[in-house]
């Protein structure tokens, strides 16, 4: 509450007035959060897609397949909850796909070296978070755009994964022990463990984004970094924490995938970063920062998973998947675009004015 007041005051300062006022006010009052109309629209689109697939895709509407869709959304979803905050803060992380492959390889190698699985697990997630934090430090301290920093990691981490393994998937027998089998394929009351993990992470990140000071700071930094800084928010700390989170989450995603495959494969998750970003954008998060919700992201993750699953069930070439996903993202960005929204709003207003004018004219004519 105190921060919100300071943000409001900051948006009135001369520095804040140098950036468009609507952004500063938006950051200060956190107006950008709701996006309920976007979520409703996406929710309806998802329901429509499910209804269509239930009619035309063989065995789509079966418990087994719907469970599979949820399982397939885990790799993207786990990272997407962190990526949502990163994008809301006006940043981007394109290294998550490589980071996931790297983590899968690291956990396999650690297990192969004889390290106990809880230690291997913790060390891999910690390493992922540390690498993410390193990217955050470079971004925040040297003020290098996050796209450039994470693009470097995108290449370096994939290379490291290949270098460590000689491109050979690492399949230690420990990766098939009861814990990893439980994570990869286990179920609790018919619900896959990996899906429960995703739901738990979603709940945690939903809480972070809506009910914590850190969540407010993330929106503020993404809405207007100058106003946020003037309000006393430690922008550097926020940025480093965000990249540490996506690094750690990418490691979790990589470990889950390695558990499913029974191997740490350095060649997997190519293009995962774009699937994650697509899910977040489709979910209504603005690439310009300051705007987005966890609920929207989860709908986006589900929408993209359902879209892909149905295409496979229909026997359509998986390459068509890429085309469809690309088009869906484009449409989503167009719908979210403030320019297009403003134009639609203007057109509606003009039509309303014209209608009102016509009504006034006809009533005057009637009177005369």
Q: Is 268 in the site for another protein (CB under 8 A)?
A: yes
State both tokens at 36: 């309920």
Sole binder of another protein in the list 265, 278, 282, 299 (CB under 8 A) = 265
Using CB under 8 A as the criterion, what x/- string covers residues 72-101 for binding another protein?
x--x--------------------------
**Minimum CB–partner distance for residue 217 and another protein (Å):** 17
C-alpha span between 298 and 303 (Å, rounded): 8
**Minimum CB–partner distance for residue 141 and another protein (Å):** 5
Sole binder of another protein in the list 68, 152, 164, 199 (CB under 8 A) = 68
* 68-76, 199-207, 214-222, 284-292 -> range binding another protein (CB under 8 A): 68-76
What is the sign of the dihedral through the CA atoms of 175, 180, 184 and 185?
A: positive
Q: Is 114 in the site for another protein (CB under 8 A)?
A: no
Sole binder of another protein in the list 14, 114, 166, 367 (CB under 8 A) = 166
Radius of gyration of the chain (CA): 23
Number of residues that bind another protein (CB under 8 A): 46
Sole binder of another protein in the list 18, 62, 130, 211 (CB under 8 A) = 62
* 44-52, 208-216, 267-275, 351-359 -> range binding another protein (CB under 8 A): 267-275
**Minimum CB–partner distance for residue 349 and another protein (Å):** 46
C-alpha span between 285 and 280 (Å, rounded): 6
| Dihedrals phi, psi of 30, to nearest 5 degrees | 60, 40
* 217-225, 269-277, 285-293, 333-341 -> range binding another protein (CB under 8 A): 269-277
Contacts of 180 (CB under 8 A, 6+ apart): 117, 174, 258, 259, 262
C-alpha span between 241 and 46 (Å, rounded): 32
Alpha carbon dihedral 123, 277, 237, 151, in 10-degree steps, equals: 70
| Dihedrals phi, psi of 264, to nearest 5 degrees | -95, 105
Smaller CB separation from another protein, 60 or 202? 60
**Minimum CB–partner distance for residue 48 and another protein (Å):** 20
DSSP letters along 14-27, please?
A: HHHHTS-HHHHHHH
The neighbour count for residue 169, using CB atoms within 10 Å, is: 17
Report which of 83, 96, 68 is spatially closest to residue 195, judged by C-alpha positions: 68
Q: State which of positions 235-264 bind another protein (CB under 8 A).
A: 236, 257, 260-263
Q: State which of positions 298-357 bind another protein (CB under 8 A).
A: 308-309, 312-315, 317-319
Q: Is 266 in the site for another protein (CB under 8 A)?
A: yes
C-alpha span between 359 and 354 (Å, rounded): 9
Question: Which positions touch another protein (CB under 8 A)?
Answer: 57-60, 62, 64-65, 68, 71-72, 75, 137-138, 141-142, 162, 166-169, 171, 173, 184-185, 236, 257, 260-263, 265-270, 272, 308-309, 312-315, 317-319
């Amino acid at each position: 509450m105190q921060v919100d007041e300071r943000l409001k005051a900051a948006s009135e300062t001369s520095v804040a007035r140098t950036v468009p006022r609507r952004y500063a006010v938006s950051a200060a009052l956190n107006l950008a959060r709701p996006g309920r109309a976007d979520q409703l629209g996406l929710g309806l689109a998802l329901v429509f897609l499910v209804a269509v697939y239930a009619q035309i895709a063989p065995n789509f509407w079966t418990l087994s397949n719907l469970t599979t869709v949820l399982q397939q959304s885990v790799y993207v979803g786990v990272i997407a909850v962190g990526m949502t905050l990163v994008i809301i803060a006006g940043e981007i992380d394109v290294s998550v796909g490589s980071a996931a492959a790297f983590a899968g390889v690291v956990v396999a190698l650690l297990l192969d070296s004889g390290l106990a699985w809880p230690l291997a697990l913790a060390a891999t997630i910690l390493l992922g978070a540390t690498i993410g934090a390193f990217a955050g430090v470079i971004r925040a301290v040297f003020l290098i755009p996050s796209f450039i920093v994470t693009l470097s990691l995108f290449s370096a981490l994939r290379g490291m994964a290949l270098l460590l393994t000689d491109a050979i998937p690492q399949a230690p027998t420990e990766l098939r022990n009861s814990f990893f089998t439980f994570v990869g394929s286990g179920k609790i009351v018919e619900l896959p463990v990996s899906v429960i993990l995703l739901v738990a992470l979603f709940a945690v990140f939903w809480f972070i984004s809506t009910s914590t000071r850190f969540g407010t700071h993330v929106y503020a930094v993404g809405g207007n970094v100058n106003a946020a800084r003037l309000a006393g928010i430690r922008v550097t700390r926020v940025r480093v924490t965000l990249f540490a989170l996506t690094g750690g989450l990418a490691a979790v995603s990589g470990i889950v995938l390695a558990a499913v495959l029974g191997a740490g494969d350095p060649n997997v998750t190519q293009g995962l970063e774009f699937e994650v970003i697509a899910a977040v954008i489709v979910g209504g998060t603005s690439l310009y920062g300051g705007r987005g919700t966890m609920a929207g992201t989860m709908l986006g993750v589900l929408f993209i998973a359902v879209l892909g699953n149905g295409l496979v069930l229909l026997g359509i070439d998986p390459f068509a998947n890429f085309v469809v996903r690309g088009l869906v993202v484009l449409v989503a960005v167009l719908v979210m675009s403030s320019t297009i929204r403003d134009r639609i709003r203007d057109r509606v207003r003009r039509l309303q004015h014209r209608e009102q004018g016509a009504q006034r004219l006809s009533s005057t004519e009637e009177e005369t």
